Amino acid sequence: MPRYKIELQYHGKNYHGWQKQPNVHSVQAEIEGHLNQVLQTEVELVGCGRTDTGVHASHYVAHFDSEKPLDCHKTSVSLNRLLPDDISVFKIEMAEPDFHARFFAKSRQYQYFIDYEKSAFRGEIAWCKKVNLNFKVLAQACEILKNHKHFTAFCKGKVPKNNDVCIIYEANWENTTTGAVFTVKANRFLRNMVRAMVGTLIDVGTEKISLQEFQRVLNSGTRSDAGKSVPAHGLFLSKIEY
């Protein structure tokens, strides 16, 4: 059966994340419903991963199987006409028969946006937080992250059994003219990991805790030792690499 790769983006405000769940509105269910309408048959999307309620994706990848060959461009155009304004498909293409959007992904990149002042336009896609960050110290904290592999201190709820290792490939903070952007790329992430990581890094950047204390938080593996999770609406899944 032919397999297709679909690349898209979504604004997460109106959704309980990507994953289809009973009695809640999800991105997966929204796209599947309209895709079934376009194809006039039922298909199931398999996504590259979950996102929390309210989190956005500027680049998301999924796959689906279709019994009949598709005109990818025509299907993409028809689907976009039906989808709400907060979801946009920018590519559908045929994939290898064994392609898997989740298991074949080599890395995932997230970005968190902080605006120092209130904005009439960015209030839904950046956290407004007046904060003075020490970017030199934050750069040192990012090096600590890249040398660590166990991130249970940033995991919400039950930690996956024997599967808590995450390899951080990149981690950095950028000081912009209006705020700050944190970018992190890894092979995988634990539940709520990025939001808890950002909250703890802000504690480091505001010198609420030292670099030595930050290291101790990582080593402890205890969620209550880490900082608060930052709000979901500033977080974007921004790149999937295969």
Q: Which residues are catalytic?
A: 52
The token pair that represents 197 in the structure block: 């990581």
Helix (H, G, I), strand (E, B) or coil at 110: strand
Phi, psi of 44 (to 5 degrees): -125, 125
Give the C-alpha separation, 74 to 38, whole Å. 10
Residue-by-residue DSSP string for 20-85:
--TTS--HHHHHHHHHHHHHTS----EES----TT-EEEEEEEEEE-SS---HHHHHHHHHHHS-T
CB atoms within 10 A of CB 73: 11
Burial class (CB in 10 A: 0-12, 13-18, 19+), 55: buried
Give the C-alpha separation, 152 to 166, whole Å. 10
| Residue labelled with tokens 């912009």 | 176
Burial class (CB in 10 A: 0-12, 13-18, 19+), 3: middle
